[in-house]
Copies of this chain bind each other. A is one copy, B any other.
Amino acid sequence: MAKLLALSLSLCFLLFSSCFALREQSQQNECQLERLDALEPDNRIESEGGLIETWNPNNRQFRCASVALSRATLQRNALRRPYYSNAPQEIYIQQGNGYFGMVFPGCPETFEEPQQSEQGEGGRYRDSHQKVNRFREGDIIAVPTGIVFWMYNDQDTPVIAISLTDTGSSNNQLDQMPRRFYLAGNQEQEFLRYQHQQGGKEEQDNDGNNIFSGFKRDFLEDALNVNRHIVDRLQGRNEDEEKGAIVKVKGGLSIITPPERQARHPRGSRQEEDEDEDEKEERQPSHHKSRRGEDEDDKEKRHSQKGESRRHGDNGLEETVCTAKLRLNIGSSSSPDIYNPQAGRIKTVTSLDLPVLRWLKLSAEHGSLRKNAMFVPHYNLNANSILYALKGRARLQVVNCNGNTVFDGELEAGRALTVPQNYAVAAKSLSDRFTYVAFKTNDRAGIARLAGTSSVINDMPVDVVAATFNLERNEARQLKSNNPFKFLVPPRESQKRASA
């Protein structure tokens, strides 16, 4: 962890520009939080194929962090209809598998149907579209501002996706309110009700609530060159509002994807290992290619190019937004960054792992703690952190700059807690397996530990520690050396057992 952080900070320093949060600040006094709460979603919108739950973004702790949180559940064969947002989103897949797509304007349609298949009534129509991706439990998906996003559940297990929208991002040039722009349907966008609460009153126009419904029919007929029936469908006219943002697809979607992949799905747990392998390959494209016979000159050239591009801090021309990796698995099946079998595991994703996050200025952390294990008191150097409990429960304490306890309570599965920048936090698991995901509002979020090896106490001279805390020198030594753990502290019992 120390090394990771050092590396991260050093790179950050070298590249400078990527260290800045580039975020909006909270309004005056927004962060004078004397009490935090572990919050459940306070609204629930049912759809034909699932439901969307939201947390009130006007809640003070979300306003301080300038974020909005929501949770979508997709039943089998459910499609979350395409939408885009005025701010970047980080989505964590709590459960399930499926497909997602994003549309990057100007990028080519790289997935094409073969010539023979799909002979509809029109004859030889061959569909083509932009890349479609598969997601699985434990994935972080990065959705940039304004980019159309859809997802689909092709499995029996319902998909549960937690989404953080960073309205404080400088990519958002509107105000702090999270906005969803739906391409289809008749449903109210999920954060609209909170906008109403803030005083603005507007007439409900029930002729449709999507981005097409506000245009006049003749405009769309001309622009799309389609008949009125299709325009009506686009505008969501006469559609049942209860159909909603997540619709059922009768018979399921047939999506062009590499056949090997689809074949693997039914195998269940094996698939995940396969995907991890796949990820490995994605990260080492040159090794993969160099297996094929090449003359030495070519290798040499590629190697030197690679070296150069690394020095410049990017991955070379081949990594455009059109082919950028948009997801990374940080779930329990991924290889952890911090691991202690008696305490638990932590895995982070930053813009170093998933370069698109540099654009979004977000990162994330997945943690799992065994019963009575702790993560030590620490604070976020350069980010707000939104903790969402996935499984089990833990006791958390959060302390503000006045030394006051702003939270001392349980965080249980399904609840979210904001830990503002620089506030100190510690946790102890109360379950056999407490797991959480933390969304962080900086693509290179760093922490400073207040206890254990490499903590701020350990890194100061022992005399300074003694004078600071009014301790004898030998007490200061104890303080610096008694806890040999870096971040995760196993429960006392297992520590004894281990040392016995």
Asked if A268 lies at the interface with its beta carbon under 8 angstroms from chain B, I say no
A263 within 8 Å of B (CB atoms) = no
Known: A4-B106, A25-B170, A467-B253. A450 touches B211 (CB 8 A): yes
- Contact among B177, B320, B451, B478 for A31, CB-based, below 8 A: B177
**Contact (Cβ within 8 A) B474 A173:** no
Stretch at the interface among A90-98, A294-302, A328-336, A402-410: A402-410
Q: Which residue of B lies closest to A383 (CB)?
A: B173
Question: A105 touching B464 by the CB < 8 A rule?
Answer: no
Closest to A85 in B: B422
Determine whether A181 belongs to the interface, using a CB cutoff of 8 Å to chain B. Answer: yes
Q: How far is the CB of A142 from chain B (nearest CB, A)?
A: 12
Q: A146 to B401, Cβ gap below 8 A?
A: no
Residues in B with CB closer than 8 Å to A448 are 84, 103, 105, 146-148
Bound: A32/B9 CA distance, A: 39
Bound CA–CA A471/B249 (angstroms): 11
Does A388 interact with chain B (Cβ within 8 Å)? no
Interface residues of A in 61-113 (CB under 8 A from B): 64-66, 79, 81-82, 84-86, 101, 103-109, 111
Determine if A26 is an interface residue (Cβ-Cβ < 8 Å): yes
Nearest Cβ distance between residue A340 and chain B, in whole angstroms? 14
Number of interface residues of A (CB under 8 A): 193
Contact flags (1/0) for A12-25 with B, using CB distance below 8 Å? Answer: 11111111111111
Q: Is there contact, CB below 8 Å, between A105 and B401? A: no
Given contacts A9-B107, A223-B452, A317-B14, contact A200 B145 (CB under 8 A): no
Indicate which residue in B9, B24, B65, B230 contacts A478 across the interface (CB closer than 8 Å).
Answer: B230
A30 at the interface (CB under 8 A from B): yes
With A84-B422, A181-B379, A200-B34 known to touch, is A468 a contact of B150 (CB < 8 Å)? yes
Distance (Å) between the CB of A21 and the closest chain B CB? 5
User: When each residue 446-458 of chain A gets 1 if its CB lies under 8 Å from chain B and 0 otherwise, what string results?
Assistant: 1111111010111
Majority secondary structure of chain A interface residues (helix, strand, loop or mixed): loop
Q: Is the CB of A467 within 8 A of B210?
A: no
Q: Among B25, B214, B471, B481, point to the contact of A172 (Cβ < 8 A).
A: B25
Enumerate chain B residues within 8 angstroms of A405, measured Cβ to Cβ: 214-216
Report how far A183 CA is from B424 CA in the complex, Å.
Answer: 11
- Taken together as a complex, chains A and B put the C-alpha atoms of A224 and B453 apart, in Å, by 10
Q: Is A349 part of the binding interface, using a Cβ–Cβ cutoff of 8 Å?
A: no
Contact A377 to B452, CB < 8 A, known contacts A25-B174, A174-B31, A214-B400: no
Chain B residues lying within 8 Å of A379, measured Cβ to Cβ, are 146, 181, 211
Segment with Cβ contacts to B, from A37-45, A127-135, A273-281, A362-370: A127-135
User: A26's contact among B23, B175, B213, by CB below 8 Å, is which?
Assistant: B175
Stretch in A191-199, A284-292, A430-438 with 4+ CB within 8 Å of B: A191-199
Is A156 interfacial (CB 8 A cutoff)?
no
By a CB distance below 8 angstroms, the chain B residues around A172 are 25, 421
Q: Which of A466-500 contact B (CB under 8 A)?
A: 467-471, 473-475, 477-483, 489, 492
In the complex formed, the residue of B with least CB distance to A477 is B125
Q: Which residue of B lies closest to A206 (CB)?
A: B403
Cross-chain contact B173 with A462 (CB below 8 angstroms): no
Which B residue sits closest to A475, measured CB to CB?
Answer: B230
Is the beta-carbon distance between A32 and B195 smaller than 8 angstroms?
Answer: yes
Residues A459 and B86 in contact, CB atoms below 8 Å apart: no
Mask, A112-140, CB within 8 Å of B = 1, is 00000000111001010110100000000
Contact B219 A377 (CB under 8 A): yes
Chain B CB within 8 A of A345 CB: no
Q: Is the CB of A5 within 8 A of B382?
A: no
The answer to the question of A338 belonging to the interface, with a C-beta cut-off of 8 Å to chain B, is no
Nearest CB of chain B from residue A448's CB, rounded to whole Å = 4
Contacts A/B (CB < 8 Å), 7 sampled = A6-B320, A13-B359, A31-B177, A105-B446, A181-B424, A214-B397, A214-B403
9 tightest Cβ-Cβ pairs between the two chains A and B? A5-B106, A214-B399, A6-B106, A10-B320, A146-B381, A13-B321, A209-B403, A179-B401, A213-B403
